[in-house]
Chain A
C-alpha cells in the first residue's frame, strides 16, 4: 500500500484543472515513476494525489496546421521513440528518451513528468532545451505557452501555476526544419542509471553543407537546471564547417556552464566530459545534416 492521503482521478483536462483548484495541496501523478518512488521513500508520504493517468487525449504526437510538432504530455518514452513524426523531425529526442532507465520505465514514464519534475539530469530535458521547446500549460484561464528555458525556475521547481497542468510540449517548425541533432548521455552504467552529464547538440547547415547556419547546444547536470551554452552557439553561427570549428565550439561551452561536485562526479571531470561530449555531438550532428569535416 502506498502512503497516500487521498486519490482524485481526473476524467479530462477540465476536470484535472477543477481538481487542482479544489485540492491545491495535492500532487499531480502521471506515469508515477517519480511520484510513487518518492512516496515509497517517504518524501511524498501522506500527500493527496491527482491522477491524470487516464487522460488519453494527452497521449501521442501530432503535427499542427502551422507545422508545429505537438507531443502530448502523457506520451510515454517508448511511444516517442517509435513515433514516425518524431523520427522524421526530431529523431534525437526519440534517441535521448530511449536511454531513460530500462524498457519498463520507458513504457511507464511520460515526457510531461520528465519536464515537470524540474530535474537537471532528465534525459529529455537537454534536447528539449536545445530545440527551444515550448511548454503548453492548461489552467483555469485557458492555455498558456512558455519557452522551456523559462519553465525551469530552479532545481526541482518549474513554473506550474495555480490550477494548471502541463498538456503538451511543442516544437516549432523553424526549430526542426533541416535540423539534425545528437544526444550523449554520460553515465556509469549503460542502463538504469541517471546521467552524470547529458549533452544535446543540433545544427542546421547551409544548402551546400559548407557553413553552419545555426548550432544549438544544451546540457543537463551542468547546472542546477538544464541550460544552453550560448557563447558556443554564437561562435559557430555562420562559420565554415571544419574540425577546428568543432574544437572551438566545444571549448566555448566552458563559458556558460557551471557543473558542481557531487558523489557522481567532480566538477573538473564534468567540465572535461562537457567539452568532449559537445565536440563529439557537434561532429555527429554535422554528419547527420550531410556535412563533412
Chain B
C-alpha cells in the first residue's frame, strides 16, 4: 500500500476567548483537534458524517458540524464550544440552566450541540415562532427527549433574553 505523506501544520485560532496555537495533522477534523489537543470533550463524536449535530461548534458565530471541518481551516477563526459558556466559577449560562430546568437532557450526548445552535439562535436577537425554532433546531438528533423539552428550553430563554413574557401555548 502506498504510504501517506504525513503533513503537519501550525494553526492559530481563538478558542473560547483565548488565542491558541497548535501543530495539527492535516488529516485531522476539527472534532479530533478540539477533543484530543484541547480536551474540549463537550464536542461529541456521533455519526462523523454531518448528520447528527453532536459535534457542533460555533465558528465565527455560525454553527458548524466540526466532524466535517478540517482542523487546519480553523486558522484565524473564533471558535466556541460549550466549555466557553461557563462563568468564571463554573456557573451555568441561562440556556444551560434552561435545559436543566425543562428536563431537556437525558443522556446528554446531543446537548452540547443543541445548546450551541441555541446560542446562535439567541444571539441573533430575533423572536422566532415555534415552527421557525423547530426548523432552526432540525440539524440535531436526540434519541432520548422527544425534542419538545428542548424546544421549550430554547423558547423560554429566547423570551427571557428579549425581556418579553412567553406566550402561553
Write the residues of chain A forming the contact surface with B, with a CB cutoff of 8 angstroms.
1-7, 9, 29, 32-33, 36-37, 40-41, 46, 51, 53-54, 78, 101-105, 107-108, 190-192
Contact = CB atoms under 8 A, between A and B. Distances in A.
Nearest to B26: A7
Contacts of B72: 7, 9, 51
A225 to B, nearest CB: 24
A107 B28 CA distance: 20
A273 B98 CA distance: 43
Contacts of A192: 51, 138-139
A33 B56 CA distance: 14
Contacts of A32: 68-70
Contacts of A40: 48-49
14 contacts: A2-B27, A4-B26, A5-B5, A7-B7, A7-B70, A36-B50, A40-B48, A46-B4, A54-B75, A102-B140, A105-B50, A107-B63, A108-B50, A192-B139
B139 A101 contact: yes
Interface in B23-71: 25-29, 32, 48-51, 53, 56, 59, 62-65, 68-70
B157 interface: no
B136 interface: yes
A7 B6 CA distance: 10
A78 B61 CA distance: 13
B133 to A, nearest CB: 11
Contacts of B32: 1
A105 to B, nearest CB: 6
Task: State the 9 A-B residue pairs at the shortest beta-carbon distance, nearest first.
Answer: A102-B139, A191-B138, A7-B26, A107-B62, A1-B27, A36-B68, A104-B139, A103-B139, A37-B49
A36 B32 CA distance: 14
A3 B27 contact: yes
A102 B4 contact: no
B117 interface: yes
Contact of A108 (B48, B68, B138): B68
A192 B49 CA distance: 12
Contacts of A9: 72
A29 B138 CA distance: 26
Contacts of A3: 4, 27
Contacts of B56: 104
Contacts of A102: 53, 138-140
Contacts of B137: 103
Contacts of A190: 135, 138
A101 B70 CA distance: 20
A29 B75 CA distance: 16
A102 B62 CA distance: 13
A10 to B, nearest CB: 12
